[in-house]
């Protein structure tokens, strides 16, 4: 296990420490690099672009994650219920988008959304309406949510489904004998039993959401004015580092983003634990 720790330290701990170190300095054209203390952090916390990105991700999180997990849970329960035809085919079909790179997923949906030759626009136009507002300011948020849903519902479904299948059958045989309906069994027995798996999917989704990068980066070429340079915090950190060449500020942004993610996933956990105690 020693080799793992060498790689682990080199690839995780060292960059982390280095980011912390960088974030405390500033670089000027005149005067070189000097210690800046918390300057970069204060700048970030008052930077409307960064805060706007974080806020946008918060909205994204509140709408998209519950929707995605609910659907994933529903599909997992449906497949596990044994009441479906073509269950195996459905499971693979829902899971397959996970194997498609974010780049290709965004490309495909980008073309489908397209106001000129996207099929939705074609249908809408032939019915006498204008092209649907997929790529406008408000539409974009939902368009990107849709891409993320498409890509990750299946992945979350598989985690929940695996948890459901490992439940011992006796757990609900008794309930079935007593005449409980399938939805009732699902709600009262199965869902509480897979709670840890659900929590896991929620926390992974929180981490994933705040790191959104590929989708807005690629959507930029379709709708540059809507995306801008700071649609998501991660996109902003990228632009700061590689367009503005300000590594110190980018390191501070990356660090802050990490802290935001930790806080949010911590809150998610606390709130679910409280519920458990309340039961």
* Structure-block tokens of residue 137: 């300011």
**Cβ 138 to another protein, closest distance in Å?**
22
C-alpha to C-alpha distance for 19 and 68, rounded to whole angstroms: 33
Is 266 a binding residue for another protein by CB under 8 A? The answer is yes
The residue range among 31-39, 59-67, 129-137, 237-245 that interacts with another protein, by the rule CB under 8 A, is 237-245
With 0-12 / 13-18 / 19 or more C-beta atoms within 10 angstroms meaning exposed / middle / buried, residue 87 is: middle
129 contacts another protein (rule: CB under 8 A): no
Q: In degrees, to the nearest 5, what angle opens at C-alpha 56 toward C-alphas 46 and 68?
A: 150
Which of 24, 49, 84, 180 contacts another protein by CB under 8 A? 84
Assess 142 for contact with another protein (CB under 8 A): no
Task: Give how far Cα 254 sits from Cα of 235, 237, 247, Å.
Answer: 11, 7, 10
Residue 243 has, within 13 A of its CA and on its CB side, a CA count of 9
DSSP 33: E
Give me 138's structure tokens: 């408000």
State the minimum distance, in angstroms, from the CB of residue 89 to another protein.
8
Name the residue nearer to another protein (CB basis): 51 or 112: 112
Inter-axis angle of helices 195-210 and 48-80, nearest 10:
150
Residue of 64, 143, 156, 234 that binds another protein (CB under 8 A) = 234
Closest CA to 159 of 211, 91, 65: 91
Q: How many residues bind another protein (CB under 8 A)?
A: 99
Asked whether position 217 contacts another protein by CB under 8 A, the answer is yes
Interface with another protein in residues 4-63 (CB under 8 A): 4-5, 7-8, 10-16, 18-20, 22
3-class DSSP state for residue 79? helix
Among 61, 68, 73, 105, binds another protein (CB under 8 A): 105
Site string for another protein, 159-188 (x = CB under 8 A): x--xx-xx-xx------------x------
Among 59, 96, 174, 267, binds another protein (CB under 8 A): 96
CB 226 within 8 A of CB 23: no
Q: Does 227 bind another protein (CB under 8 A)?
A: no
């Amino acid at each position: 296990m020693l080799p793992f720790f060498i790689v682990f330290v080199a690839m995780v701990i060292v960059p982390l420490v280095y980011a912390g170190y960088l974030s405390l300095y500033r670089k000027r054209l005149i005067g070189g690099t000097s210690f800046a203390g918390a300057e970069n952090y204060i700048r970030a916390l008052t930077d409307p672009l960064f805060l706007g990105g974080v806020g946008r991700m918060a909205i994204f999180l509140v709408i998209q994650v519950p929707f995605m997990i609910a659907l994933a849970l529903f599909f997992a329960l449906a497949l596990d219920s044994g009441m479906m035809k073509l269950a195996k085919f459905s499971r693979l079909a829902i899971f397959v988008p996970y194997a498609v790179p974010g780049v290709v997923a965004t490309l495909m949906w980008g073309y489908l959304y397209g106001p000129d030759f996207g099929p939705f626009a074609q249908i809408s136009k032939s019915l006498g309406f204008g092209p649907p507002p997929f790529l406008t300011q408000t539409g974009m948020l939902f368009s990107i949510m849709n891409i993320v849903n498409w890509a990750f519902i299946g992945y979350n479904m598989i985690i929940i489904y695996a948890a459901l299948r490992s439940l011992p059958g006796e757990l609900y045989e008794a309930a079935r004998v007593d005449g409980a309906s399938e939805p009732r069994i699902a709600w009262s027995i199965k869902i509480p039993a897979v709670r840890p798996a659900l929590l896991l999917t929620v926390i992974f989704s929180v981490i994933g959401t705040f790191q959104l990068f590929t989708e807005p980066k690629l959507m930029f070429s379709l709708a540059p004015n809507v995306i801008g340079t700071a649609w998501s915090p991660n996109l902003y950190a990228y632009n700061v580092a590689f367009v503005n060449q300000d590594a110190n500020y980018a390191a501070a942004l990356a660090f802050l983003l990490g802290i935001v993610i930790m806080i949010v996933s911590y809150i998610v956990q606390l709130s679910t634990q409280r519920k458990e105690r309340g039961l």
